[in-house]
Amino acid sequence: MRLEAMAVKIPHVEGHPNRAPFEGVLTVVNAASDQAPAGARGHRVVLTREAAEKALPSLLGMAVDYRPGWDGHDARRKIGVLTEADVIGKRLVVRGYLYLRDFPDVAQAIQAQSPDAMGMSYELADARVEDMRAEVWKLTRVTFTGAAILLREKAAYRATSFRMAG
């Protein structure tokens, strides 16, 4: 097993009122998505492990967003930040903080969902597709620009997850 990891060191502040730690599986690598992600023109996609590993630094410090209804992305509803990204096996695992004091209603809505209901989705720019005519697009280079929390059933990859820690 190979492990790639990156993190931004944020000092621990006991009882910080605006930091609610979370972790999630943002995506899986070297596996076709269960459905076409937004922006893929109806194509399912495969994010290669190599592309994911090279793009790990672009995840750090990026925002986490949500959309009311938990059914997609809204880059103008930023509710947290990504501080760690690890490729563990086929899973791209992320950790970070939601802004609990700023968005208590969002945190409560997440906690009201069943433990396995929530998932994640990545946001990209500058994606390179190996063959645009392929039925399943193979992403060979990407820059991550953020992530969204959504219902797992709405995510392009059903193997994603999201949970608030603690």
Q: What is the pLDDT of residues 124-161, one digit of tens each?
A: 999 999 999 999 999 999 999 999 999 999 999 999 99
Angle at 122 between CA 121 and CA 125, to 5 degrees: 150
- Indicate the pTM of the whole model: 0.92
Which domains, and CATH codes, for the chain?
Answer: 3-8+19-164 (3.20.16)
Report the Cα 142 to chain-centroid distance in Å: 14
Question: Which residues does 41 contact at the CB level (< 8 Å), separation at least 6?
Answer: none
Q: What is the largest CA-CA distance in the chain?
A: 52
pLDDT category at 166 given cuts 50, 70, 90 is: low
Residue-wise pLDDT for 2-26, tens only, equals 555 667 788 889 999 999 999 999 9
Q: How far apart are CA 40 and CA 57, in angstroms?
A: 23
- Mean pLDDT over 38-64 rounds to 96
pLDDT averaged over the chain? 94
Number of neighbours of residue 165 by Cβ within 10 angstroms: 9
Residue-wise pLDDT for 103-130, tens only, equals 999 999 999 998 899 999 999 999 999 9
